[in-house]
Structure 1
Amino acid sequence: MGNFKVPHTLTLLFSMMVLALIATWIVPQGFFQTETLANGRSVVQAGTFTLVDERSYLSPWQLLTAIPRAFASAQDVIFFVMILGGVLSIARATGTVDALIGRLLDRFGTQPQLLIFMVVFCFAMASSFIGTAGEYIPFVLILVALCKAMRLDAMTAVGMTVAGYGIGYGISAVNPFTLVIAQQIADIPILSGWPLRAAIFLPFVLIGFHHVWSYSKKVLADPNQSMVKDLPCPLGDKAAVNYPALTLAHRMVLGSFVLTIGIVAYNIRVNDWYLYELGAAFIAWGLFTTLVSNISADTAAKKFIEGTMDLTTTAILIGVARGISLILEDGQVLHSLVHGMSMPLSYVGAEIAAIGMLVIQTLLNFFIPSGSGQAYVTMPLMVPLADLLEIPRQVAVLAYQFGDGFSNMIIPTNAILMGIIGIAGIPYGHWFRFCLPLIFKLMLASSVVLVLAVMFDYGDDVQPELSTQQTTVLENAA
């Protein structure tokens, strides 16, 4: 064991693609009937799972062709990350980041625990209310630089970022991409059940904060305790000693950055913006930064190219990660996995079934990393199952939120996660070792919450009445 070395992240991801291919040869192939909703999204119909008449086999050649297809499928995320890297490289060339680090050090230099708590809390709030995720990527290098100046490491920077992101999604108050969709499918009032989610928000944030702070204290006491001590810092080894003053130009760059984030967050919710529009917004910010900082167009162009080149590895990892779910979809086993995992729940009690729903949603997030996509596939199956087991539908929605949100922090098929750790220069194996204990803590806490929610009939006040015909359909589906 002493000689064991975690493989390169690309090796891990390709190995997972191979395992996915083998799974398509072994797992029974089947599918659910789907129905197209008014918003154009397809939702599966409970009780309609059917095995295919004749098994088809994907060949190793199809495994290889899945890689370029996966790059094409994930192109929006890939190009957004590369554009962002180029624009941030321009911002770093202006000295704005160094000036900001200097000011933040004056404020938090002796209180790293306060910085960590504020980042986890604020990111969790944003994810909970407006579903922010990819918007955190621009903050990663700033936090890495700040942690480096505070004698911490890149793992601490990523830890506070991802903990806030994952916990915010898991304990969502009004997230339009997960909670709202799941409650619509469950046919319960939108945003109902918020008092419980509000009550557990801070305790779960404190779990994330404690995990990151406990690690950072070890690094402060002994830098050799760092899990990334054997890796080069993405910002280089040169430590800045004299930070520049925060000039008017720097303030304009920072103010326009905050404004850009605000515009993006608003339009994501109101005008359905996504990564193409986000990329355009940050390009506009990069042009504004170039103008107000009085740097030449050629310098800005060179810095932009350098920034995109730095994220080539990250772009490759994001593309290959998408290939895992692509293989499972091509092999017609994705719905089979969902069906097979949900069946055992009908044989256990309500409290155990609620925990089982959490486990299933967690596992399925590996295969369906999209939060909304997972809701459309799993909730139509979990809702009738909850009805049969006399579990309030609100509990089924809560189990979905926990499973989707927390596992976002560790699954390698999550493009946002791969982008964050890629920018910070942290291999997936290192991140997995850091994050796994936190996942266990959050899973234990959420299991307790689910059991109590079942015991105290959480959501019983909004449970829809089922007709005799609906009850018969559910029993037949079971």
Structure 2
Amino acid sequence: MKEGFKVPHTLILLLSMMLVAYLATWLVPQGFFETVTLDNGRQAVVPGTYALAQAQTHLTPMDFLVAIPRAFAAAQDVIFFVFIVGGVLSIARATGTIDALIGRLLERFGHKPNILIFMVVFCFALASGAIGTAGEYIPFVLILVGLCKAMRLDAMTAVGMVVAGYGIGYGVSAFNPFTVMVAQKVADIPVYSGIELRLAIFLPFVLIGFHHVWSYAKKVQANPELSLTKGLPCPLAGSAEANYPALNKRHQMILFGLVAAIVTAVWGISQKGWYLYELGAVFISWGIFTTLIGQIGADRAANEFIEGVKDLASTAILIGVARGIALIMEDGQILHTLVYAMSSPLSHLGAELAAVGMFIMQTLLNLFIPSGSGQAYVTMPLMAPVGDIIGVYRQVAVLAYQFGDGFSNMIIPTNAVLMGIIGMAGVPYHLWFRFCLPLFGKLMLAASVVLVLAVTFGYGEDVQPKVEETAQTQAK
């Protein structure tokens, strides 16, 4: 009897995608748009300037191999943030705080998992939509995994709550400074204009995410054999019958320190432009605070930190290799060619279909440009004038960009934050893809309907630049 097909390890899948990207650099012509430097120092492409490179050069096999360690260097901020979070959480667990917190949450939500799931999806979506949080969710993953296991759920449910909130928050954000603000500035429309529609669709999209995760969770709770992660080792595995320690004053002080760290991180992101290096420093401070309050001793804290880092070594490798896919395409100088090839057919479609086409294009390009703001600087200078020609207002083009960037964050393996979250929970990428694909399809369908209606009812007409203003902006 022949053995059935076995899905390769996630590392093999990512290396295979790197190889495909490498081969594409030999098959796709190299070309460029001219770029201009904006006031903030970022580079934006100039529409109508695409041209093939005069000399077509190709990456060598050595370039492919060198791209792997270079990718680790490019993703170092995420990798070391994950290491720091894993190590610090290991210290916190050694004090009994994590187990005590899980026990307390079980008392509150043990018989109401639907409320817990909705609250997590809603709150994470709200935070992502408001201030663009993403990697900041990684510290919550292990806590939610332990809580879900104790509620007879699984790690997939925990990851589903986190990632659904994260992706939906970015996709329907009302005022995310890293996506909405950047895209509207590049499209030359007032910042935060059109907020009414984005606020109106926030809750319906959150409910789509909640329904998907809760439907799966109910099946697993009724029959654990239906769990997609059945048989896999799971961090912080527990049961509802376990004897969790009481949440004492010392635990409460440590949790207060965590809340203070998160508040400080949010303040730093919104007011000081902090990101993962600074956030790592904040969590190191919490780790020191936890060691002192928990009274576990410096040597034990050091050992626990190292053990926590060890547990996430495989996650760090996946994050680094995932970054290599985009790096290969950047080195091969074919990214602008792909953008040009995808955007050109849009001018031949009707306005409604073109808006959906913009959405699909942004979704595909997020695989190669996983940075939300980076994608805005590359694509919005092209989408805005294309929309002017075919009758898609720039506000709709920005919405299509948001949907494409945000929702695909939940499923593309080049997203370092996603790989960090599923790696922290011990969920292989192919199983996550199987869980997330139906949700992604539902969100794609709902977003397409919103875009068609937005075009039909003239969303963004009130802020559409006049033809003369557009010409002057392009001339500059």
Bucket of the pairwise TM-score, normalised by the shorter protein: over 0.9
CA displacement at 1:469 relative to structure 2? 8.1
CA displacement at 1:238 relative to structure 2? 8.1
User: Which residue matches 1:121?
Assistant: 122
The aligned amino acid for 1:338 is V
User: Which residue matches 1:69?
Assistant: 70
Aligned equivalents of 2:408, 2:469: Cα separation in 1: 37
Q: Does residue 47 of the first structure (1) align with residue 59 of the second (2)?
A: no
Aligned equivalents of 1:333, 1:2: Cα separation in 2: 40
Q: 1:362 and 1:289, CA in 2 relative to 1: closer, same or farther beyond 3 A?
A: same
Aligned equivalents of 1:180, 1:21: Cα separation in 2: 34
Aligned equivalents of 1:35, 1:234: Cα separation in 2: 48
- Asked if the contact 2:149–2:238 (Cα under 8 Å) also holds between the matched residues in 1, the reply is no
Aligned 1:108-187 pairs, distance under 5 A: 108-187=109-188
Which runs of at least 4 in structure 1 moved beyond 6 Å after TM superposition?
A: 237-240, 471-474
Q: Does residue 257 of the first structure (1) align with residue 258 of the second (2)?
A: yes
User: Which residue matches 1:390?
Assistant: 391
User: Which residue matches 2:15?
Assistant: 14
What is the root-mean-square deviation in Å for CA atoms of aligned residues?
A: 1.5
User: Which residue matches 2:373?
Assistant: 372
Aligned equivalents of 2:437, 2:231: Cα separation in 1: 20
The aligned amino acid for 1:123 is F
The aligned amino acid for 1:374 is Q
Q: 1:140 and 1:327, CA in 2 relative to 1: closer, same or farther beyond 3 A?
A: same
Aligned equivalents of 2:316, 2:376: Cα separation in 1: 27
Aligned equivalents of 1:139, 1:76: Cα separation in 2: 18
Aligned equivalents of 2:152, 2:3: Cα separation in 1: 28
Aligned 1:224-373 pairs, distance under 5 A: 224-235=225-236, 241-373=242-374
CA displacement at 1:473 relative to structure 2? 7.0
Q: 1:282 and 1:471, CA in 2 relative to 1: closer, same or farther beyond 3 A?
A: closer
Q: Secondary structure at the match of 2:367?
A: helix
Q: 1:468 and 1:210, CA in 2 relative to 1: closer, same or farther beyond 3 A?
A: closer
The aligned amino acid for 2:461 is D
CA displacement at 1:234 relative to structure 2? 2.2
Aligned equivalents of 1:426, 1:32: Cα separation in 2: 39
> Is there any run of 5+ residues in structure 2 with no aligned partner, and where?
none
User: Which residue matches 1:212?
Assistant: 213
The aligned amino acid for 1:393 is R
- Asked if the contact 2:180–2:192 (Cα under 8 Å) also holds between the matched residues in 1, the reply is yes
Aligned equivalents of 2:217, 2:3: Cα separation in 1: 25
Q: 1:44 and 1:312, CA in 2 relative to 1: closer, same or farther beyond 3 A?
A: same
User: Which residue matches 2:401?
Assistant: 400
1:320-373 Cα offsets, whole Å, 9 max, x none, are 001000100010101111110000100010000000000000000000000010
Q: Secondary structure at the match of 1:341?
A: helix
Q: 1:106 and 1:473, CA in 2 relative to 1: closer, same or farther beyond 3 A?
A: closer
Aligned equivalents of 1:279, 1:34: Cα separation in 2: 34
Q: Does residue 26 of the first structure (1) align with residue 24 of the second (2)?
A: no
CA displacement at 1:38 relative to structure 2? 1.2
Q: 1:188 and 1:243, CA in 2 relative to 1: closer, same or farther beyond 3 A?
A: same
Q: TM-score, structure 2 length as denominator?
A: 0.98
1:182-228 Cα offsets, whole Å, 9 max, x none, are 00011111111111011111100000000000100110110000000
1:61-80 Cα offsets, whole Å, 9 max, x none, are 11111000111111111111
- Asked if the contact 2:151–2:239 (Cα under 8 Å) also holds between the matched residues in 1, the reply is no
Moved more, 240-249 or 144-153: 240-249
Aligned equivalents of 1:468, 1:314: Cα separation in 2: 49
The aligned amino acid for 1:81 is V
- Asked if the contact 2:157–2:217 (Cα under 8 Å) also holds between the matched residues in 1, the reply is yes
User: Which residue matches 2:445?
Assistant: 444
Aligned equivalents of 1:238, 1:310: Cα separation in 2: 22
Q: Does residue 458 of the first structure (1) align with residue 450 of the second (2)?
A: no
User: Which residue matches 2:471?
Assistant: 470
CA displacement at 1:235 relative to structure 2? 2.7
User: Which residue matches 1:201?
Assistant: 202
- Asked if the contact 2:125–2:168 (Cα under 8 Å) also holds between the matched residues in 1, the reply is yes
> Is there any run of 5+ residues in structure 1 with no aligned partner, and where?
none
Q: Secondary structure at the match of 1:224?
A: helix
Aligned equivalents of 2:454, 2:239: Cα separation in 1: 52
1:420-452 Cα offsets, whole Å, 9 max, x none, are 000000010000000000000000000000000
Aligned equivalents of 1:240, 1:311: Cα separation in 2: 28
Q: Does residue 435 of the first structure (1) align with residue 473 of the second (2)?
A: no
Aligned equivalents of 1:468, 1:157: Cα separation in 2: 49
CA displacement at 1:176 relative to structure 2? 0.3
Aligned equivalents of 1:259, 1:333: Cα separation in 2: 45
Aligned equivalents of 2:236, 2:145: Cα separation in 1: 8
The aligned amino acid for 2:334 is V
User: Which residue matches 2:95?
Assistant: 94
- Asked if the contact 2:21–2:329 (Cα under 8 Å) also holds between the matched residues in 1, the reply is yes
Aligned equivalents of 2:228, 2:470: Cα separation in 1: 58
CA displacement at 1:54 relative to structure 2? 1.9
Q: TM-score, structure 1 length as denominator?
A: 0.97
Q: Secondary structure at the match of 2:173?
A: coil
CA displacement at 1:230 relative to structure 2? 2.5
Q: Secondary structure at the match of 1:43?
A: strand
The count of residues paired between Structure 1 and Structure 2 equals: 474
Aligned 1:416-435 pairs, distance under 5 A: 416-435=417-436
The aligned amino acid for 1:340 is A
Aligned equivalents of 1:289, 1:283: Cα separation in 2: 10
CA displacement at 1:304 relative to structure 2? 0.2
Q: Percent identity?
A: 69
Aligned equivalents of 1:100, 1:246: Cα separation in 2: 7
The aligned amino acid for 2:418 is L
1:127-163 Cα offsets, whole Å, 9 max, x none, are 0101110010000000000000000000000001000
1:233-269 Cα offsets, whole Å, 9 max, x none, are 1235788711111111111111110111111011111
Q: Secondary structure at the match of 2:366?
A: helix
Q: 1:252 and 1:470, CA in 2 relative to 1: closer, same or farther beyond 3 A?
A: same
1:376-410 Cα offsets, whole Å, 9 max, x none, are 11100100011111111000000000000000000
